[in-house]
Structure 1
Amino acid sequence: MPDICVIGGSRYFGKRLIERLLNAGHRVTVVNRGSSAPPAGAFHLIADRDDERALEKALGSRTFDVVVDQVCYTPRQAGIARRVLGPRTRRYVMTSTVEVYEYEDSASPVREEAVDPRTVAVDPAADLPYGEGKRQAEAVFAGDPSLAFTAVRVAHVLGGADDFTGRLAHYADRIREGRPIAVPAVNHPATYVYVEEIADFLAWAAEREFTGPVNAASHGPLTTAGICAPIEARLGRRAVFQEVEVGEVSPFSFRRSYAMDNTRATALGYTFRHSSDWLERAVDETLGGRA
């Protein structure tokens, strides 16, 4: 079975990914700073990915069939990974984000070609926001023609009792207490994915050979009201939405439209579910006993 290296990934959907790879019989090596242990059965290497020498030393002479990088956020991190891990693997899969499309505002779902990482300028010294950091990290890997590289652009993830973001709790608290939920005057829908399904997709992608960016998102974009609907049903109370022209809005409320098109994933052989198939379960898992 293939040797797979997972960088980071001992929390949330990364943990689920590792479990799926192990259950499929893969030999899995997890590299992180030691703050959390990987699931039982994975080999654990402790190293700071930002320290090039330490990473090289920790890896020793190991090579891999696939690297799945769960925690690459900047072009500097990508540069270190490309130099240290690029020669040790035949394929590199980076967990990217829908936020690479943060400059888009498209009425129709955005396809991968809207952001070609080969054309993105890179500034390794800059202090970059999340979406731009991911864009430039993709660009570093895509600029190496010797490396088979895949960027999985992950939609907003929902579900799981271990969701640490607090975003669904934000809505539940306001609905329960009758406080307003701030939304833009024009509140655009966005694409989402269930935590279990993104783990499935990443495990599936690690076993394939395709390269280039691929959007990972469920069918059925959701608005803020759509996300709140199962919370309203759970609590027996209606959400109060307050439109704001400027200033901060609630999580998952968007002034621009950049829902992702998942046609490429379908063509490659993976069929995502519709958000209506899992949204209620995701809310129940995350909110647990909160009422």
Structure 2
Amino acid sequence: MELIDIGANLTHDSFDRAREAVLQRARAAGVVQMVVPGASREHSPRALELARAHPGVLYATAGVHPHHATEYTAECDAELRELHRHPEVVAVGECGLDYFRDFSPRPAQRKAFERQLEIAADLAAAGDPKPLFLHQRDAHEDFMAIMRQFEGRIGPAVVHCFTGTREELFDYLDRDWYIGITGWLCDERRGRHLREFVKEIPDHRLMVETDAPYLLPRTLDPMPRDRRNEPMYLPHIVQELARDRGQSMEAVAVATTATARSFFRLP
């Protein structure tokens, strides 16, 4: 059984002392490829470095998360465009809106989001389309309004780490966007609602991710002492997801792996 983790934040400093061991444990668990999100001016080039050091296994995205929107300058835009010249960078983002934390002012978030959608549109117009790796939390209305401005100009999109409502889910599916499911599903405090409708996501629109080192599944037994999430726990998420969808674990693994390979154009 092969799995693809579409969101493993392996540039995080918590992995600095044991990154190779983390990759080995992932491989032993059946996680054969991983996408490393670039979410800031600092971490987007680091994601590319990791991908180039592990060809065929790691791939990168390049973008600026809404938490870091205030760093989105003309220089930052130029840096991202240069990163997207590399084939190891397989998606634009992580970009979007986050009104839950508001670590950056909302006008700055919207502007940074629009600038990155322009990158995606320009890549598509130049014949090198790349999908979007999107983030949305507590900002659905503004998020949808901005995305509508780019309809017909951008390629496929995945709403990574989906935690929203059923209504939000169908807004995304109605636009043929993809959905990334994480260990949030395993959180009895915050993720119970997801269990009620994840079965409604079509196989060809579903992908899985850990969002490591964040969102350690709360249903792991035993729990790791350091409470750090790793890609090796992706099979646990798939097992929980399969149960909620009324499918076998193997069926979910096959479908999500095929979808991820097609979406990111992975070998």
- TM-score bracket for this pair, using the shorter chain length: 0.3 to 0.5
Higher helix proportion, which one?
2
Higher strand proportion, which one?
1
With normalisation by structure 2, the TM-score equals: 0.37
